[in-house]
Structure 1
Amino acid sequence: MKVIVPVKRVLDYNVKPRVKADGSGVDLANVKMSMNPFDEIAVEEAIRLKEAGTVTEIVAVSIGEAKAQETLRTALAMGADRAILVTAEDKVEPLGVAKILAKIVEEESPEMVILGKQAIDDDNNQTGQMLAALLGWGQGTFASKVEIADGAAKVTREVDGGLETVSLKLPAIVTTDLRLNEPRYASLPNIMKAKSKPLANKTPADYGVDTAPRLTTLKVTEPPKREAGIKVPDVDTLVAKLKEMGVA
Protein backbone atom coordinates (compact mmCIF):
# COMPACT_ATOMS: atom_id res chain seq x y z
CA MET A 1 0.00 0.00 0.00
CA LYS A 2 1.43 3.35 -1.08
CA VAL A 3 0.66 6.61 0.74
CA ILE A 4 1.27 10.17 -0.46
CA VAL A 5 1.82 12.81 2.21
CA PRO A 6 1.78 16.47 1.07
CA VAL A 7 3.78 18.82 3.33
CA LYS A 8 4.06 22.60 3.35
CA ARG A 9 6.85 24.96 4.39
CA VAL A 10 5.39 27.64 6.68
CA LEU A 11 6.44 30.19 9.26
CA ASP A 12 7.45 28.29 12.40
CA TYR A 13 4.57 28.19 14.88
CA ASN A 14 6.83 29.56 17.66
CA VAL A 15 7.54 32.75 15.68
CA LYS A 16 5.26 35.75 16.09
CA PRO A 17 4.19 36.90 12.59
CA ARG A 18 5.05 40.43 11.49
CA VAL A 19 3.06 42.29 8.85
CA LYS A 20 5.02 44.01 6.08
CA ALA A 21 5.18 47.80 6.29
CA ASP A 22 3.14 48.16 3.09
CA GLY A 23 0.43 45.77 4.35
CA SER A 24 0.90 43.40 1.40
CA GLY A 25 1.44 40.29 3.51
CA VAL A 26 3.40 38.65 6.32
CA ASP A 27 7.11 39.43 6.51
CA LEU A 28 9.05 36.16 6.01
CA ALA A 29 12.52 37.71 5.72
CA ASN A 30 15.08 36.23 8.11
CA VAL A 31 12.57 34.21 10.12
CA LYS A 32 12.53 30.52 10.99
CA MET A 33 10.48 28.32 8.67
CA SER A 34 9.42 24.74 9.32
CA MET A 35 6.98 22.02 8.32
CA ASN A 36 3.32 22.80 8.87
CA PRO A 37 2.44 21.13 12.23
CA PHE A 38 -0.65 19.36 10.85
CA ASP A 39 1.50 17.94 8.04
CA GLU A 40 4.00 16.63 10.60
CA ILE A 41 1.12 14.71 12.14
CA ALA A 42 0.25 13.34 8.69
CA VAL A 43 3.83 12.16 8.13
CA GLU A 44 3.89 10.54 11.57
CA GLU A 45 0.61 8.72 10.90
CA ALA A 46 1.91 7.36 7.59
CA ILE A 47 5.07 6.14 9.34
CA ARG A 48 3.04 4.42 12.06
CA LEU A 49 0.94 2.67 9.43
CA LYS A 50 4.17 1.52 7.77
CA GLU A 51 5.56 0.27 11.07
CA ALA A 52 2.32 -1.67 11.55
CA GLY A 53 2.88 -3.38 8.19
CA THR A 54 -0.08 -1.71 6.49
CA VAL A 55 1.89 0.74 4.32
CA THR A 56 4.83 -0.25 2.12
CA GLU A 57 5.91 3.13 0.71
CA ILE A 58 5.57 6.76 1.80
CA VAL A 59 5.99 9.54 -0.78
CA ALA A 60 6.30 13.09 0.59
CA VAL A 61 5.26 15.92 -1.74
CA SER A 62 5.72 19.66 -1.40
CA ILE A 63 4.59 22.47 -3.69
CA GLY A 64 6.34 25.79 -3.23
CA GLU A 65 9.67 27.56 -3.47
CA ALA A 66 12.97 25.68 -3.83
CA LYS A 67 13.66 26.04 -0.10
CA ALA A 68 10.79 23.61 0.53
CA GLN A 69 13.39 20.94 -0.19
CA GLU A 70 14.45 21.38 3.46
CA THR A 71 10.91 20.51 4.56
CA LEU A 72 10.93 17.40 2.40
CA ARG A 73 14.29 16.33 3.84
CA THR A 74 12.69 16.59 7.29
CA ALA A 75 9.90 14.27 6.16
CA LEU A 76 12.48 11.86 4.73
CA ALA A 77 14.42 11.96 8.01
CA MET A 78 11.24 11.15 9.92
CA GLY A 79 10.70 8.06 7.79
CA ALA A 80 9.32 8.88 4.32
CA ASP A 81 10.88 6.80 1.53
CA ARG A 82 11.15 9.38 -1.25
CA ALA A 83 10.00 12.88 -2.09
CA ILE A 84 8.71 15.05 -4.92
CA LEU A 85 9.26 18.82 -4.98
CA VAL A 86 7.08 20.84 -7.35
CA THR A 87 8.90 24.17 -7.53
CA ALA A 88 6.69 27.25 -7.80
CA GLU A 89 8.22 30.51 -6.63
CA ASP A 90 4.88 32.33 -6.62
CA LYS A 91 2.25 31.44 -4.04
CA VAL A 92 0.05 28.54 -5.14
CA GLU A 93 -3.56 28.68 -3.98
CA PRO A 94 -5.35 25.59 -2.55
CA LEU A 95 -7.09 24.80 -5.85
CA GLY A 96 -3.77 24.86 -7.70
CA VAL A 97 -2.21 22.63 -5.04
CA ALA A 98 -5.13 20.20 -5.27
CA LYS A 99 -4.86 20.04 -9.09
CA ILE A 100 -1.13 19.29 -8.94
CA LEU A 101 -1.67 16.65 -6.26
CA ALA A 102 -4.40 15.07 -8.38
CA LYS A 103 -1.92 14.73 -11.26
CA ILE A 104 0.70 13.22 -8.93
CA VAL A 105 -1.91 10.76 -7.65
CA GLU A 106 -2.66 9.71 -11.24
CA GLU A 107 1.06 9.00 -11.78
CA GLU A 108 1.79 7.34 -8.43
CA SER A 109 -1.51 5.43 -7.92
CA PRO A 110 -1.47 5.49 -4.10
CA GLU A 111 -4.18 3.90 -1.96
CA MET A 112 -4.32 6.91 0.37
CA VAL A 113 -3.36 10.56 0.62
CA ILE A 114 -2.82 11.80 4.18
CA LEU A 115 -2.39 15.55 4.70
CA GLY A 116 -2.84 18.16 7.40
CA LYS A 117 -6.36 19.55 7.74
CA GLN A 118 -5.01 23.08 7.16
CA ALA A 119 -1.83 25.12 6.96
CA ILE A 120 -1.16 27.53 9.81
CA ASP A 121 -0.15 30.37 7.46
CA ASP A 122 -3.40 30.82 5.53
CA ASP A 123 -5.78 28.53 7.51
CA ASN A 124 -7.79 27.77 4.37
CA ASN A 125 -8.71 24.15 5.21
CA GLN A 126 -9.52 23.48 1.54
CA THR A 127 -6.86 21.38 -0.18
CA GLY A 128 -7.90 17.95 1.15
CA GLN A 129 -11.56 18.48 0.30
CA MET A 130 -10.76 19.87 -3.16
CA LEU A 131 -8.45 16.94 -3.89
CA ALA A 132 -11.14 14.44 -2.87
CA ALA A 133 -13.61 16.17 -5.22
CA LEU A 134 -11.15 16.19 -8.14
CA LEU A 135 -10.36 12.49 -7.69
CA GLY A 136 -13.87 11.39 -6.78
CA TRP A 137 -12.49 9.69 -3.64
CA GLY A 138 -14.05 9.39 -0.20
CA GLN A 139 -12.68 11.69 2.48
CA GLY A 140 -12.24 11.56 6.24
CA THR A 141 -11.43 15.06 7.50
CA PHE A 142 -10.23 16.18 10.97
CA ALA A 143 -9.08 12.65 11.79
CA SER A 144 -8.22 11.80 15.40
CA LYS A 145 -7.87 8.04 14.70
CA VAL A 146 -7.20 6.04 11.54
CA GLU A 147 -7.53 2.26 11.18
CA ILE A 148 -6.94 0.31 7.95
CA ALA A 149 -8.48 -3.14 7.39
CA ASP A 150 -10.08 -5.17 4.58
CA GLY A 151 -9.53 -2.53 1.91
CA ALA A 152 -11.19 0.24 3.92
CA ALA A 153 -10.16 3.03 6.26
CA LYS A 154 -12.11 3.62 9.45
CA VAL A 155 -11.61 7.25 10.41
CA THR A 156 -12.69 8.78 13.70
CA ARG A 157 -13.16 12.47 13.05
CA GLU A 158 -13.69 15.44 15.33
CA VAL A 159 -16.97 17.29 14.81
CA ASP A 160 -18.75 20.03 16.75
CA GLY A 161 -20.89 17.53 18.64
CA GLY A 162 -18.01 15.22 19.60
CA LEU A 163 -16.67 12.33 17.51
CA GLU A 164 -17.94 10.75 14.31
CA THR A 165 -16.63 7.51 12.74
CA VAL A 166 -16.77 7.00 8.99
CA SER A 167 -15.74 4.02 6.88
CA LEU A 168 -14.03 4.87 3.58
CA LYS A 169 -13.43 2.47 0.73
CA LEU A 170 -9.82 2.81 -0.43
CA PRO A 171 -8.40 4.78 -2.15
CA ALA A 172 -9.30 7.72 0.09
CA ILE A 173 -8.25 11.12 1.43
CA VAL A 174 -7.57 11.68 5.14
CA THR A 175 -6.85 15.06 6.74
CA THR A 176 -5.28 15.07 10.19
CA ASP A 177 -6.24 16.84 13.39
CA LEU A 178 -4.06 17.60 16.42
CA ARG A 179 -5.16 14.63 18.56
CA LEU A 180 -4.24 11.98 15.98
CA ASN A 181 -0.67 11.52 17.24
CA GLU A 182 2.50 13.15 18.54
CA PRO A 183 5.11 13.51 15.75
CA ARG A 184 8.55 12.05 16.41
CA TYR A 185 11.85 13.90 16.26
CA ALA A 186 14.20 12.82 13.48
CA SER A 187 17.36 11.20 14.83
CA LEU A 188 20.79 12.32 13.62
CA PRO A 189 21.47 9.03 11.76
CA ASN A 190 18.11 9.35 9.96
CA ILE A 191 18.86 12.98 9.09
CA MET A 192 22.09 11.83 7.47
CA LYS A 193 20.33 8.99 5.63
CA ALA A 194 17.68 11.42 4.35
CA LYS A 195 20.34 13.22 2.30
CA SER A 196 20.69 10.20 0.05
CA LYS A 197 16.99 9.39 -0.34
CA PRO A 198 15.46 10.16 -3.77
CA LEU A 199 14.00 13.65 -4.24
CA ALA A 200 12.52 14.43 -7.67
CA ASN A 201 12.23 18.03 -8.87
CA LYS A 202 9.19 19.01 -10.93
CA THR A 203 7.31 22.15 -11.98
CA PRO A 204 3.56 22.82 -12.34
CA ALA A 205 4.12 22.86 -16.12
CA ASP A 206 5.27 19.22 -15.95
CA TYR A 207 1.75 18.37 -14.81
CA GLY A 208 -0.01 20.81 -17.15
CA VAL A 209 -1.44 22.84 -14.26
CA ASP A 210 -1.94 26.61 -14.39
CA THR A 211 -1.14 28.00 -10.92
CA ALA A 212 -1.94 31.64 -11.74
CA PRO A 213 -3.65 33.18 -8.67
CA ARG A 214 -7.41 33.67 -8.79
CA LEU A 215 -7.54 35.69 -5.58
CA THR A 216 -6.06 39.09 -4.74
CA THR A 217 -4.96 40.11 -1.26
CA LEU A 218 -6.07 43.69 -0.76
CA LYS A 219 -4.50 44.35 2.63
CA VAL A 220 -3.04 42.53 5.62
CA THR A 221 -3.25 44.11 9.07
CA GLU A 222 -2.43 43.01 12.58
CA PRO A 223 -5.38 42.35 14.89
CA PRO A 224 -6.33 45.30 17.11
CA LYS A 225 -4.67 45.37 20.51
CA ARG A 226 -6.88 44.28 23.38
CA GLU A 227 -7.77 46.92 25.91
CA ALA A 228 -6.72 46.38 29.50
CA GLY A 229 -9.27 44.81 31.80
CA ILE A 230 -10.62 46.37 35.00
CA LYS A 231 -11.27 44.97 38.46
CA VAL A 232 -14.62 45.45 40.19
CA PRO A 233 -15.27 45.07 43.93
CA ASP A 234 -18.60 43.21 43.73
CA VAL A 235 -21.30 41.72 41.48
CA ASP A 236 -23.47 44.84 41.52
CA THR A 237 -20.62 46.92 40.14
CA LEU A 238 -19.94 44.25 37.52
CA VAL A 239 -23.57 44.31 36.35
CA ALA A 240 -23.55 48.10 36.25
CA LYS A 241 -20.34 48.10 34.16
CA LEU A 242 -21.79 45.55 31.74
CA LYS A 243 -24.93 47.66 31.30
CA GLU A 244 -22.76 50.72 30.78
CA MET A 245 -20.84 48.88 28.04
CA GLY A 246 -24.10 47.68 26.46
CA VAL A 247 -23.30 44.01 27.09
CA ALA A 248 -26.08 43.27 29.59
Structure 2
Amino acid sequence: MKILVPVKRVVDYNVKVRVKSDGSGVDIANVKMSMNPFDEIAVEEAVRLKEAGVATEVVAISCGVAQCQETLRTAMAIGADRGILVQTDEELQPLAVAKLLKAICDKESPELVVLGKQAIDDDANQTGQMLASLMNVAQATFASKVAIADGKATVTREIDGGLETLSMSLPAIVTTDLRLNEPRYATLPNIMKAKKKPLETVTPADLGVDVAPRLKTLKVEEPPKRSAGVKVADVAELVAKLKNEAKVI
Protein backbone atom coordinates (compact mmCIF):
# COMPACT_ATOMS: atom_id res chain seq x y z
CA MET A 1 0.00 0.00 0.00
CA LYS A 2 1.26 3.46 -0.94
CA ILE A 3 0.63 6.43 1.34
CA LEU A 4 0.88 10.01 0.09
CA VAL A 5 1.64 12.70 2.68
CA PRO A 6 1.35 16.38 1.68
CA VAL A 7 3.55 18.70 3.78
CA LYS A 8 3.58 22.50 3.90
CA ARG A 9 6.42 24.93 4.61
CA VAL A 10 5.22 27.53 7.13
CA VAL A 11 6.65 30.07 9.55
CA ASP A 12 7.96 28.16 12.58
CA TYR A 13 5.41 28.03 15.39
CA ASN A 14 7.90 29.54 17.83
CA VAL A 15 8.27 32.71 15.75
CA LYS A 16 6.16 35.76 16.52
CA VAL A 17 4.78 36.82 13.16
CA ARG A 18 4.72 40.46 12.12
CA VAL A 19 2.39 42.12 9.66
CA LYS A 20 3.94 44.07 6.79
CA SER A 21 3.71 47.84 7.09
CA ASP A 22 1.42 48.06 4.05
CA GLY A 23 -0.96 45.45 5.50
CA SER A 24 -0.58 43.18 2.47
CA GLY A 25 0.44 40.09 4.46
CA VAL A 26 2.83 38.59 6.98
CA ASP A 27 6.53 39.45 6.79
CA ILE A 28 8.50 36.21 6.23
CA ALA A 29 11.83 37.78 5.28
CA ASN A 30 14.68 36.23 7.30
CA VAL A 31 12.15 34.26 9.37
CA LYS A 32 12.70 30.65 10.40
CA MET A 33 10.51 28.29 8.39
CA SER A 34 9.63 24.69 9.22
CA MET A 35 7.15 21.93 8.46
CA ASN A 36 3.56 22.56 9.49
CA PRO A 37 3.13 20.77 12.88
CA PHE A 38 -0.04 18.95 11.80
CA ASP A 39 1.82 17.65 8.74
CA GLU A 40 4.61 16.34 10.99
CA ILE A 41 1.94 14.26 12.72
CA ALA A 42 0.74 13.02 9.32
CA VAL A 43 4.27 11.97 8.30
CA GLU A 44 4.78 10.21 11.63
CA GLU A 45 1.51 8.27 11.24
CA ALA A 46 2.38 7.22 7.70
CA VAL A 47 5.83 6.04 8.79
CA ARG A 48 4.31 4.10 11.71
CA LEU A 49 1.93 2.35 9.29
CA LYS A 50 4.92 1.42 7.14
CA GLU A 51 6.86 0.15 10.17
CA ALA A 52 3.83 -1.95 11.13
CA GLY A 53 3.91 -3.61 7.71
CA VAL A 54 0.65 -2.03 6.57
CA ALA A 55 2.23 0.29 4.00
CA THR A 56 5.05 -0.41 1.57
CA GLU A 57 5.92 3.16 0.52
CA VAL A 58 5.48 6.67 1.93
CA VAL A 59 5.68 9.54 -0.54
CA ALA A 60 5.93 13.14 0.72
CA ILE A 61 4.73 15.98 -1.50
CA SER A 62 5.00 19.73 -1.12
CA CYS A 63 3.71 22.59 -3.25
CA GLY A 64 5.43 25.97 -3.35
CA VAL A 65 8.81 27.64 -3.76
CA ALA A 66 12.14 25.86 -4.25
CA GLN A 67 12.91 26.09 -0.52
CA CYS A 68 10.13 23.55 0.09
CA GLN A 69 12.78 20.95 -0.75
CA GLU A 70 14.05 21.45 2.81
CA THR A 71 10.62 20.52 4.16
CA LEU A 72 10.56 17.41 1.99
CA ARG A 73 14.03 16.41 3.19
CA THR A 74 12.75 16.72 6.76
CA ALA A 75 9.86 14.40 5.91
CA MET A 76 12.28 11.93 4.37
CA ALA A 77 14.51 12.15 7.45
CA ILE A 78 11.49 11.15 9.56
CA GLY A 79 10.91 8.16 7.31
CA ALA A 80 9.31 9.03 3.97
CA ASP A 81 10.84 7.08 1.05
CA ARG A 82 10.86 9.84 -1.57
CA GLY A 83 9.59 13.32 -2.24
CA ILE A 84 7.77 15.25 -4.94
CA LEU A 85 7.94 19.04 -5.18
CA VAL A 86 5.39 20.95 -7.24
CA GLN A 87 7.48 24.08 -7.67
CA THR A 88 5.83 27.44 -8.24
CA ASP A 89 6.26 31.02 -7.06
CA GLU A 90 2.51 31.65 -7.29
CA GLU A 91 0.46 32.22 -4.14
CA LEU A 92 -1.20 28.85 -3.56
CA GLN A 93 -4.69 28.82 -2.07
CA PRO A 94 -6.38 25.65 -0.73
CA LEU A 95 -8.31 24.88 -3.93
CA ALA A 96 -5.17 25.17 -6.05
CA VAL A 97 -3.26 22.88 -3.68
CA ALA A 98 -6.12 20.35 -3.72
CA LYS A 99 -6.08 20.34 -7.54
CA LEU A 100 -2.30 19.82 -7.58
CA LEU A 101 -2.62 16.96 -5.09
CA LYS A 102 -5.42 15.44 -7.19
CA ALA A 103 -3.12 15.48 -10.23
CA ILE A 104 -0.33 13.81 -8.23
CA CYS A 105 -2.76 11.21 -6.86
CA ASP A 106 -3.93 10.40 -10.39
CA LYS A 107 -0.29 9.76 -11.26
CA GLU A 108 0.81 7.93 -8.09
CA SER A 109 -2.46 6.09 -7.25
CA PRO A 110 -2.01 6.02 -3.44
CA GLU A 111 -4.42 3.95 -1.35
CA LEU A 112 -4.29 6.51 1.48
CA VAL A 113 -3.59 10.24 1.67
CA VAL A 114 -2.72 11.52 5.16
CA LEU A 115 -2.35 15.25 5.73
CA GLY A 116 -2.59 17.76 8.55
CA LYS A 117 -6.08 19.03 9.31
CA GLN A 118 -4.90 22.62 8.76
CA ALA A 119 -1.82 24.78 8.30
CA ILE A 120 -0.84 27.16 11.08
CA ASP A 121 -0.31 30.07 8.69
CA ASP A 122 -3.81 30.43 7.22
CA ASP A 123 -5.76 27.97 9.43
CA ALA A 124 -7.95 27.29 6.39
CA ASN A 125 -8.77 23.63 7.18
CA GLN A 126 -9.97 23.11 3.59
CA THR A 127 -7.40 21.22 1.52
CA GLY A 128 -8.17 17.69 2.76
CA GLN A 129 -11.89 18.09 2.29
CA MET A 130 -11.48 19.63 -1.18
CA LEU A 131 -9.13 16.83 -2.22
CA ALA A 132 -11.62 14.17 -1.09
CA SER A 133 -14.34 15.87 -3.12
CA LEU A 134 -12.17 16.19 -6.24
CA MET A 135 -11.13 12.53 -5.99
CA ASN A 136 -14.65 11.39 -5.01
CA VAL A 137 -13.34 9.21 -2.18
CA ALA A 138 -14.19 8.81 1.50
CA GLN A 139 -12.68 11.17 4.06
CA ALA A 140 -12.18 11.28 7.83
CA THR A 141 -11.08 14.58 9.34
CA PHE A 142 -9.54 15.42 12.76
CA ALA A 143 -8.28 11.86 13.24
CA SER A 144 -7.03 10.85 16.70
CA LYS A 145 -6.57 7.15 15.84
CA VAL A 146 -6.06 5.33 12.53
CA ALA A 147 -6.15 1.58 11.87
CA ILE A 148 -5.86 -0.12 8.47
CA ALA A 149 -7.05 -3.70 7.89
CA ASP A 150 -8.74 -5.73 5.14
CA GLY A 151 -8.81 -2.87 2.67
CA LYS A 152 -10.57 -0.57 5.09
CA ALA A 153 -9.51 2.34 7.28
CA THR A 154 -11.03 2.65 10.75
CA VAL A 155 -10.62 6.20 12.00
CA THR A 156 -11.52 7.66 15.37
CA ARG A 157 -12.09 11.38 14.98
CA GLU A 158 -12.59 14.20 17.46
CA ILE A 159 -15.92 16.01 17.37
CA ASP A 160 -17.52 18.60 19.63
CA GLY A 161 -19.45 15.98 21.57
CA GLY A 162 -16.61 13.49 22.04
CA LEU A 163 -15.27 10.83 19.67
CA GLU A 164 -16.71 9.35 16.47
CA THR A 165 -15.44 6.18 14.78
CA LEU A 166 -15.74 5.77 11.02
CA SER A 167 -14.99 2.81 8.75
CA MET A 168 -14.04 3.63 5.15
CA SER A 169 -13.07 1.71 2.06
CA LEU A 170 -9.72 2.60 0.52
CA PRO A 171 -8.63 4.79 -1.20
CA ALA A 172 -9.41 7.47 1.38
CA ILE A 173 -8.33 10.83 2.75
CA VAL A 174 -7.43 11.30 6.44
CA THR A 175 -6.58 14.60 8.12
CA THR A 176 -4.70 14.47 11.41
CA ASP A 177 -5.40 16.10 14.77
CA LEU A 178 -2.95 16.82 17.57
CA ARG A 179 -3.69 13.73 19.65
CA LEU A 180 -3.01 11.20 16.89
CA ASN A 181 0.66 10.76 17.81
CA GLU A 182 3.88 12.42 18.98
CA PRO A 183 6.21 13.01 16.00
CA ARG A 184 9.73 11.64 16.39
CA TYR A 185 12.88 13.73 16.09
CA ALA A 186 14.89 13.14 12.94
CA THR A 187 18.23 11.59 13.89
CA LEU A 188 21.48 12.74 12.30
CA PRO A 189 22.03 9.45 10.40
CA ASN A 190 18.49 9.68 8.97
CA ILE A 191 19.05 13.33 8.03
CA MET A 192 22.15 12.29 6.09
CA LYS A 193 20.27 9.40 4.43
CA ALA A 194 17.45 11.77 3.45
CA LYS A 195 19.87 13.79 1.32
CA LYS A 196 20.30 10.77 -0.95
CA LYS A 197 16.63 9.86 -1.27
CA PRO A 198 14.98 10.71 -4.62
CA LEU A 199 13.22 14.06 -4.92
CA GLU A 200 11.26 14.77 -8.11
CA THR A 201 10.42 18.32 -9.16
CA VAL A 202 7.45 19.17 -11.38
CA THR A 203 5.50 22.34 -12.15
CA PRO A 204 1.75 23.05 -12.17
CA ALA A 205 2.00 23.33 -15.96
CA ASP A 206 3.42 19.80 -16.13
CA LEU A 207 0.35 18.62 -14.24
CA GLY A 208 -2.05 20.72 -16.30
CA VAL A 209 -3.35 22.62 -13.27
CA ASP A 210 -4.29 26.31 -13.15
CA VAL A 211 -3.18 27.69 -9.77
CA ALA A 212 -4.30 31.29 -10.29
CA PRO A 213 -5.69 32.73 -7.00
CA ARG A 214 -9.50 32.85 -6.74
CA LEU A 215 -9.49 34.96 -3.57
CA LYS A 216 -7.97 38.39 -2.99
CA THR A 217 -6.60 39.43 0.41
CA LEU A 218 -7.77 42.96 1.08
CA LYS A 219 -5.92 43.63 4.30
CA VAL A 220 -3.97 41.85 7.03
CA GLU A 221 -3.75 43.36 10.51
CA GLU A 222 -2.72 42.25 13.96
CA PRO A 223 -5.50 41.50 16.48
CA PRO A 224 -6.29 44.34 18.90
CA LYS A 225 -4.31 44.30 22.11
CA ARG A 226 -6.20 43.02 25.12
CA SER A 227 -7.12 45.75 27.59
CA ALA A 228 -6.13 45.48 31.24
CA GLY A 229 -8.58 43.98 33.72
CA VAL A 230 -10.19 45.86 36.59
CA LYS A 231 -11.05 44.86 40.14
CA VAL A 232 -14.56 45.24 41.47
CA ALA A 233 -15.68 45.60 45.08
CA ASP A 234 -18.71 43.31 44.97
CA VAL A 235 -21.08 41.35 42.75
CA ALA A 236 -23.37 44.34 42.27
CA GLU A 237 -20.55 46.39 40.74
CA LEU A 238 -19.55 43.42 38.55
CA VAL A 239 -23.09 43.07 37.20
CA ALA A 240 -23.29 46.82 36.60
CA LYS A 241 -20.07 46.83 34.59
CA LEU A 242 -21.11 43.80 32.56
CA LYS A 243 -24.41 45.48 31.79
CA ASN A 244 -23.38 49.09 31.22
CA GLU A 245 -19.77 48.90 30.01
CA ALA A 246 -19.26 45.48 28.45
CA LYS A 247 -22.94 45.31 27.41
CA VAL A 248 -22.97 41.52 27.55
CA ILE A 249 -26.04 41.18 29.76
TM-score range, shorter chain: over 0.9
- Counterpart of 1:214 in structure 2 is 214
Structure 1 runs (4+) deviating above 4 angstroms are none
Structure 1 residue 2 displacement after superposition? 0.4
- Counterpart of 1:138 in structure 2 is 138
- Counterpart of 2:93 in structure 1 is 93
Q: Deviations over 1:141-195 (max 9, x none)?
A: 0100000011000000111111111101001000000110110100000000000
- Counterpart of 1:168 in structure 2 is 168
Q: Aligned to 1:201, what secondary structure does the other structure show? A: strand
Q: How does 1:1-248 map to 2 (within 5 A)?
A: 1-245=1-245, 246-248=247-249
Structure 1 residue 239 displacement after superposition? 1.8
Q: Aligned to 1:85, what secondary structure does the other structure show? A: strand
Q: Which amino acid aligns with 1:157?
A: R
- CA–CA distance in structure 1, aligned partners of residues 182 and 233 of structure 2: 44
Q: Which amino acid aligns with 2:248?
A: V
- CA–CA distance in structure 1, aligned partners of residues 174 and 21 of structure 2: 38
Q: Deviations over 1:35-87 (max 9, x none)?
A: 00000000000011111110110000000000000000000000000000010
Q: Aligned to 1:132, what secondary structure does the other structure show? A: helix
Q: Aligned to 1:145, what secondary structure does the other structure show? A: strand
Q: Aligned to 1:58, what secondary structure does the other structure show? A: strand
Report percent identity of matched pairs: 73
Normalising by structure 2, we get a TM-score of 0.98
Q: Which amino acid aligns with 1:58?
A: V
Number of matched residues?
248
Structure 1 residue 247 displacement after superposition? 2.3
- CA–CA distance in structure 1, aligned partners of residues 222 and 24 of structure 2: 12
Q: Which amino acid aligns with 1:247?
A: V
Q: Which amino acid aligns with 2:202?
A: K
Q: Which amino acid aligns with 1:109?
A: S
Q: Which amino acid aligns with 1:137?
A: V
- CA–CA distance in structure 2, aligned partners of residues 60 and 183 of structure 1: 15
Normalising by structure 1, we get a TM-score of 0.98
- CA–CA distance in structure 2, aligned partners of residues 110 and 221 of structure 1: 40
Q: Aligned to 1:243, what secondary structure does the other structure show? A: helix
Structure 1 residue 242 displacement after superposition? 1.6
Structure 1 residue 90 displacement after superposition? 1.5
**Mean alpha-carbon deviation: is it higher for 225-234 or for 58-67?**
225-234
Structure 1 residue 235 displacement after superposition? 2.0
Q: Deviations over 1:97-151 (max 9, x none)?
A: 1111111111111100000011111111111111111111100101000000110
Q: Which amino acid aligns with 2:191?
A: I
Q: Aligned to 1:155, what secondary structure does the other structure show? A: strand
- CA–CA distance in structure 2, aligned partners of residues 247 and 139 of structure 1: 40
- CA–CA distance in structure 2, aligned partners of residues 115 and 74 of structure 1: 15
